[in-house]
């Protein structure tokens, strides 16, 4: 979960813009009278520091015990009409036409139910890399088919 959250945050354009602008403002305030090399070095150090801090906060939050239902085992089934998700807390059907996208990331596959919520399937859930690729291809195909059907209906 930490890997997903970290990658998701790092790929967020809004979070990157806020971080870059904040770091630029700090560097401008503290190093405006320094050499360009000093300013660039300070910028890189503060930028990395921001991300380390962000990862620490995320790790603490995820492992604070408040996310028991979030971090539980799930069974996912790619049905013809919907993604079925089942856990010890319940089950849900997400129709393909309402699913945002399915993507491959290092270490996991994510099926985004909306732009901010995803079902995460770690690589260890798949017997082989081929099974992972087939699962992703089927999810992508079902999402695309639902979108195509929605446009022609």
Is residue 83 within 8 A of residue 98, CB to CB? The reply is no
Query: What average pLDDT does this structure show over 115-121?
Result: 88
pLDDT digits (tens, 9 = 90+) for 101-111: 999 998 899 99
Query: What average pLDDT does this structure show over 132-153?
Result: 86
Q: What is the Cα Rg of the chain in Å?
A: 20
Q: Where in the chain is the domain with CATH 2.30.29?
A: 75-152
pLDDT of residue 66: 59
Nearest to 108 by CA among 36, 14, 3, 15: 3
Q: How far apart are CA 122 and CA 147, in angstroms?
A: 26
Please state, for a pLDDT cut of 70, what percent of the chain lies above it: 92
For 75-152, the fitting CATH number among 3.55.50, 2.30.30, 3.40.50, 2.30.29 is 2.30.29
Is residue 39 within 8 A of residue 31, CB to CB? The reply is yes
pLDDT digits (tens, 9 = 90+) for 40-83: 999 999 999 999 998 898 888 777 765 555 567 889 999 999 99
Please state, for a pLDDT cut of 90, what percent of the chain lies above it: 52
């Amino acid at each position: 979960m930490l890997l997903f959250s970290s990658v998701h945050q790092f790929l967020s354009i809004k979070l990157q813009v806020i971080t870059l602008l904040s770091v630029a403002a700090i560097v401008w305030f503290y190093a405006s009278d320094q050499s360009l090399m000093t300013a660039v070095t300070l910028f890189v150090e503060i930028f990395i520091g921001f991300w380390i801090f962000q990862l620490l906060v995320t790790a603490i939050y995820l492992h604070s015990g408040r996310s028991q239902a979030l971090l539980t085992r799930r069974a996912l089934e790619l049905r013809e009409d919907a993604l079925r998700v089942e856990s010890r807390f319940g089950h849900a059907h997400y129709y393909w036409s309402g699913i945002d996208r399915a993507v491959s990331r290092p270490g996991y596959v994510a099926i985004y139910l909306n732009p901010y919520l995803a079902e995460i399937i770690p690589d260890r859930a798949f017997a082989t890399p081929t099974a992972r690729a087939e699962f992703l291809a089927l999810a992508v195909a079902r999402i695309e088919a639902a979108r195509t059907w929605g446009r022609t209906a």
